[in-house]
Amino acid sequence: MRFSERIRKLGVFEPGAPYQTHKISAMAAQMKGEDTIDATSNAMPMDTPAAVKEAAKKALDEGYTRMAPLVGLPELREAIARKLEKMDGIRADPETEIIVTHGAQEAIFLAIQALVEPGDEVIECSPDYPFYLNIENASGIPVYVPLRKDENWRLEPKDFETAVTPKTRMIALDSPHNPTGRVFTRDELEGIAQVARKHDLIVISDVANEMLVWDGGKNINIASLPGMRERTVTTSSVSKCYGMCGWRIGYACGNTDLIFQMSKLHNVACNVGPATFAQKGAAALYDELPEIMEGVVEQYEKKRDLAVRKLNEMPKLHCHKPEGGAVLMPDISEYGMSSLQFAEWLLREAKVATAPGSGYLAEGHIRVNFGEVRPKD
């Protein structure tokens, strides 16, 4: 059977391919009966908040089991709009500027498909969340700008300016950053905003980890900066911060024209929005933020500190302290193995599953979910 080129080049399970994380996770799942820790995820391993579960149960009892509106339930879009204004400093019309998607991944996919033509260039950081899969699938060209590792993975806007060409269409950002854990500063983001305004570029701002910010910090959405609201599409989901990965509720917020174009492809791909009872639960979540997260940040901050300290006590490992997100990215290059080889070895020998850095443009590193740390009394 002949498969399309856009599918063949995804190569999810091939050596060196982006999603080796899935391979390691699958290997861990096959080790039945063994005390294996799966730390491959980028989400907090917590239970869904009780108020959210109760809202979903109530919705089931009330008959919210039929097909959802294409762009999402009005009450969820309204709750997202309230959250965006309260926490991100962004005012959005829930009727025309917000679409509910099947996770943030679909929101990113729709945005890139709607905006990127064949041959367009999209600038992203290196290391990074694999935006490049969606960019290449849209026949675009990813252009990588290295973060400055020796400066705690600092983002330098001048490096983005240098990367711009006449073919540049978009900049893709996620903060808190996956996999480095950087929370980009206002100065860094204002520098990127200046580049975007100067060259008339669109920005994807993925804020899926926005509540996971440590040491009293706060995440800034670049869409809230002057002149950026109309040229930014914000994507997020309930997955990473709230113990709701399986709910598959995400959203995109952008200008009216963009959200309409995204909804056309959303219709072709999915026909309807996510499950209505799950949307009711998500609406309850957004209306309870940030109070619903009380105590969670402090709990996982302690786990982060413990994990960083223990990793840095190990020979040949070097791990910086992340400012946000649920993962660590220790440098394993002194072991003389590829990140995939190291992850396979660690799973065999220590029964701990980690994500190879190769899928995140971070060869020589692994990604570890520190929420899986199990401190002893």
pLDDT digits (tens, 9 = 90+) for 161-197: 999 999 999 999 999 999 999 999 999 999 999 999 9
CB 140 within 8 A of CB 6: no
pLDDT at residue number 375: 60
Q: What percent of the chain has pLDDT over 90?
A: 83
Pick the residue with more confidence: 372 or 300?
Answer: 300
pLDDT at residue number 42: 87
Average pLDDT across the chain, whole number: 93
* Residue 4 pLDDT level (bands cut at 50, 70, 90): confident
| Rounded-to-integer distance, Cα 250 and Cα 105, Å | 8
pLDDT at residue number 370: 94
Lookup: tokens for 177: 């950053």
For helices 339-350 and 20-30, the axis angle rounded to 10 degrees is 10
List phi, psi (to 5°) of 323: -90, -15
CB 325 within 8 A of CB 209: yes
pLDDT of 57 over the 90 cut? yes
DSSP 270-335: HSSBS-HHHHHHHHHHHHHTTGGGTTHHHHHHHHHHHHHHHHHTSTT-B-PPPSBSSEE--B-GGG
pLDDT at residue number 331: 98
For helices 50-61 and 276-288, the axis angle rounded to 10 degrees is 140
pLDDT digits (tens, 9 = 90+) for 20-43: 787 888 888 888 667 888 899 888
Boundaries of every domain in the chain? 5-47+294-372, 51-292
CATH class for the region spanning 5-47+294-372:
alpha beta
pLDDT of 284 over the 80 cut? yes
pLDDT digits (tens, 9 = 90+) for 200-258: 999 999 999 999 999 999 999 999 999 999 999 999 999 999 999 999 999 999 999 99
| CATH 3.40.640.10 corresponds to the domain 51-292 | yes
pLDDT digits (tens, 9 = 90+) for 144-157: 999 999 999 999 99
pLDDT at residue number 19: 65
Q: Residue written as tokens 């609406």?
A: 283
pLDDT at residue number 3: 85
pLDDT at residue number 377: 40
Phi-psi region of 324 (alpha: psi -120 to 50; beta: other; left: phi over 0): beta
* Residue 374 pLDDT level (bands cut at 50, 70, 90): low
pLDDT of 143 over the 90 cut? yes
pLDDT digits (tens, 9 = 90+) for 335-369: 999 999 999 999 999 999 999 999 899 999 999 99
Please report how many Cα atoms fall inside a 13 Å half-sphere around the Cα of residue 325, on the Cβ side: 27
* Residue 267 pLDDT level (bands cut at 50, 70, 90): very high
pLDDT of 78 over the 70 cut? yes
